[in-house]
Structure 1
Amino acid sequence: MDLFVCAGCGTELSVPVERVALPVEAHYGGGHRWMPPLMEPGTYAVDPDPWARAWLTWEEIGEAGAAALGVHAPVHTVPTGPRDGIVLAPGDTRGTRLLPERSGPSCLGVVAGDAPNLVCAGCGLGVGFREDDCGVWQTVRYGPEAVVRRSLGVPPPAVPVRPLPPIDPEGGWDMRWSAAAGAALARLLAASGGRALKLPGGLPTELFGRSVARLLPAGPPFLTVGLAGPGLPGGDADIVLVPADRRTGAPWRPAGDAVPVPLPGPVWAHLVGPGETSPTPVSGTLPAQVLRDDYPLPEHPGYGFLPDRATLRRTLSRMPEVRRPWLRALYDRI
């Protein structure tokens, strides 16, 4: 576990937190609606990409300049701000003051502007940015130069993976599933080599089927896609959907030659075994083998699923494989 303190005066700026991988939905835009905290309580992540502030168009930065920042295909704008921002849930921060007058253009909350809108309560040093506007995840981003990480020498608690149902509290497709599917689809397309894919039946086909049919040729022959992970070998599939490591984001490695495509652990866990997924927890425990029957959500939204296109394009643009002519042509079609 770690603790963040002000680089100027040592004021504690967080509760003890555990480092985990940056969620794939971190750059998902939610439109004109309320967004919850991005990070789980008690966790933080480091965003390796440049973020906010200075934005340059593709024409301004050029292909070589964009590639140096990890962008390998044309995008509208490229952020050139600081890298390695520390991302936390706002509720896990301490010892700061919010300066709302430093917010950038916003709608119903605050967003990052040109200067830090969070300052240390001890010395006034600008330490980061708070965002909570509509359409953006609620986050605090500390600048790596403004804070110091102190290791507490305490191992993080074991956290079981809880399946995340694909339906949100409003009865639509959960936006975290949309973002996860967009990132996974980018890697499925790259792994396909431009060939047809045969998806497993059920929810995986619902997630990717329409996009794969639109973007890749029809078969046969096919490359087969399966599910693999702890306790699930994946059979003879050519490409396997696997869980990403919670702390590193690295995909679970299958034993054979299948190409792994990572999904967030909670999404993968639902795909392989939904189990009990009631979104309204109750106190106490239920007897073994007893499931609740008061789910308030529909079994299925009234519209089809599509992976988030912005996440798909963003993921592809940051994969060196997008330089391959066939994948670049596909990227330009999306």
Structure 2
Amino acid sequence: MTVFACTGCGAVLTVPVSRVAFPVQAHQQVGNGLLLGVLMEPGTYAVDPEPFGPPWLRWDEFGAVEAEAHGVYAPVFALSCGPRGAVVVAPGDVGGTVLIPGPAGGNCCGLDGQDGPNLACARCGRLVATRVDDCSLWQAVWLDPDAVHRVDGDASPQRTVGWDALRAERPGVEPVEPDGQWNPLWEAAVAVALARLLVLSTGARVTVPDGLVAETFRRTLDALLPPGPTARTLALAGPGLPAVTADIGLVPQHPQSGEDWAPSGSVDVVPLPWDVWAYLAFHHDRRPVPGAGAMPDDARRDDPPPPLPRRAFHPDVVVFLDTLARLPEVRQPWLREIYHRVSRGPYRFPF
């Protein structure tokens, strides 16, 4: 376990936490008024591999050459020039800090963190973190990597749950909220996977299996890729599933280590967060009316039944564009055309 302390005075600022994979939805922004929950599970932390926070530069101020040196390969509205390696934790895991209202940076319902650190060390006054809790953002505290340092406790290695045990411990997150809205985690996770799927498609059609995978992937893939013969096939692959024979496998990412599950054979992989992948893999569509005679194994009598979505699934377009802009393949003409088409009309079909 690890705690984080102020580099100025050494005051401990967090409870003991253990590292997990960086969440795909970390920088997601949803519609005004939709209250998102806490990003990180209690007792965990993750490290952002990308720059975080101000200063911000617009694309025309940055330039394509310098942007590529920072891992961005297509035009974006603005780029963060803040430090890499920001540590994100749950707000309830932070102590010994005080809120500084002046640079808090706010939106309609709370703090958005756009103005930089707004939490100071209560002992020495050093700015150490950014609290984010606006209604359109995931609630989190982002520790400034230049203002805090890690203090390792017990030297014993962190227990990593095996793939087989994960199925019992983490059965997955349902795609639809009780009010009929699609789960924002699903919208972000599918958006990231779609960007990587496009790269592996090489611009040709992809066959998508029926069921919830089709409901979340097929419509967008068919809309973005040009008509023509199918060149590649997609299937779920991972622990507990039969060996995959498709060209591309949707595989789970380990929630602790961030490791992608590796199938046997020459299969290209597209990772999904474990909680999304597990639901896709092991929760099959309900048969609404059991057949005559004995109840089939796949018939479920839930009371109340799981909620139905209010609308068709739409991947998060901002997360999709942000992911695609950071893939070097977006410089290929056919993929750059898709990027520009979606950028010009980000909320048109199928987003």
TM-score exceeds 0.5: yes
Alignment length, in residue pairs? 321
Relative to structure 1, is the Cα distance of residues 133 and 222 closer, same or farther in structure 2, using a 3 angstrom cutoff? same
Structure 2 distance, partners of 1:8, 1:96, is: 13
1:302 corresponding residue in structure 2 = 310
1:239 corresponding residue in structure 2 = 248
Relative to structure 1, is the Cα distance of residues 253 and 115 closer, same or farther in structure 2, using a 3 angstrom cutoff? closer
The runs of 5 or more residues in structure 2 that have no matched partner are 285-299, 343-351
Give the TM-score normalised by the residue count of structure 2.
0.86
Structure 1 distance, partners of 2:305, 2:94, is: 33
User: Is residue 314 of structure 1 aligned with residue 315 of structure 2?
Assistant: no
Q: Superposed, which structure 2 residues align to 1:148-167 within 5 Å?
A: 148-152=149-153, 153-156=155-158, 158=161, 160-167=169-176
Give the TM-score normalised by the residue count of structure 1.
0.90
Equivalent residue in structure 2 for 1:323, among 318, 331, 335: 331
Contact 1:2 1:149 in 2 (8 A): yes
Q: CA deviation at 1:113?
A: 4.8
Contact 1:164 1:270 in 2 (8 A): yes
Amino acid in structure 2 at the alignment position of 1:200: P
Contact 1:100 1:110 in 2 (8 A): no
Q: Superposed, which structure 2 residues align to 1:108-127 within 5 Å?
A: 108-127=109-128
- SS of the equivalent of 1:208 reads helix
Q: CA deviation at 1:114?
A: 3.6
Contact 2:172 2:278 in 1 (8 A): yes
2:24 corresponding residue in structure 1 = 24
Q: CA deviation at 1:247?
A: 2.7
Structure 1 runs, 4 residues or longer, greater than 3 Å off: 154-159, 291-297
Contact 1:102 1:113 in 2 (8 A): no
Contact 1:250 1:262 in 2 (8 A): no
Q: CA deviation at 1:217?
A: 2.6
- SS of the equivalent of 2:45 reads strand
Relative to structure 1, is the Cα distance of residues 206 and 113 closer, same or farther in structure 2, using a 3 angstrom cutoff? closer
Amino acid in structure 2 at the alignment position of 1:317: A
Relative to structure 1, is the Cα distance of residues 209 and 109 closer, same or farther in structure 2, using a 3 angstrom cutoff? same
Structure 2 distance, partners of 1:79, 1:247, is: 27
Equivalent residue in structure 2 for 1:252, among 232, 247, 261: 261
Structure 2 distance, partners of 1:109, 1:330, is: 35
Structure 1 distance, partners of 2:54, 2:305, is: 42
Equivalent residue in structure 2 for 1:191, among 177, 185, 200: 200
Amino acid in structure 1 at the alignment position of 2:147: A
Contact 1:163 1:269 in 2 (8 A): yes
Amino acid in structure 1 at the alignment position of 2:216: L
Q: CA deviation at 1:54?
A: 1.5
- SS of the equivalent of 1:241 reads strand
Amino acid in structure 1 at the alignment position of 2:15: V
The share of aligned pairs that are identical, in percent, is 48
Structure 2 distance, partners of 1:156, 1:91, is: 22
Q: CA deviation at 1:296?
A: 6.8
Structure 2 distance, partners of 1:36, 1:60, is: 35
Structure 2 distance, partners of 1:113, 1:195, is: 39
The runs of 5 or more residues in structure 1 that have no matched partner are 276-290
Q: CA deviation at 1:96?
A: 1.0
Amino acid in structure 1 at the alignment position of 2:323: T
Amino acid in structure 2 at the alignment position of 1:309: V
Q: Superposed, which structure 2 residues align to 1:46-65 within 5 Å?
A: 46-65=47-66
Amino acid in structure 1 at the alignment position of 2:229: P
Contact 2:53 2:116 in 1 (8 A): no
1:288 corresponding residue in structure 2 = none
Amino acid in structure 2 at the alignment position of 1:324: Q
Structure 2 distance, partners of 1:11, 1:170, is: 43
Contact 1:197 1:219 in 2 (8 A): no
Amino acid in structure 1 at the alignment position of 2:264: A
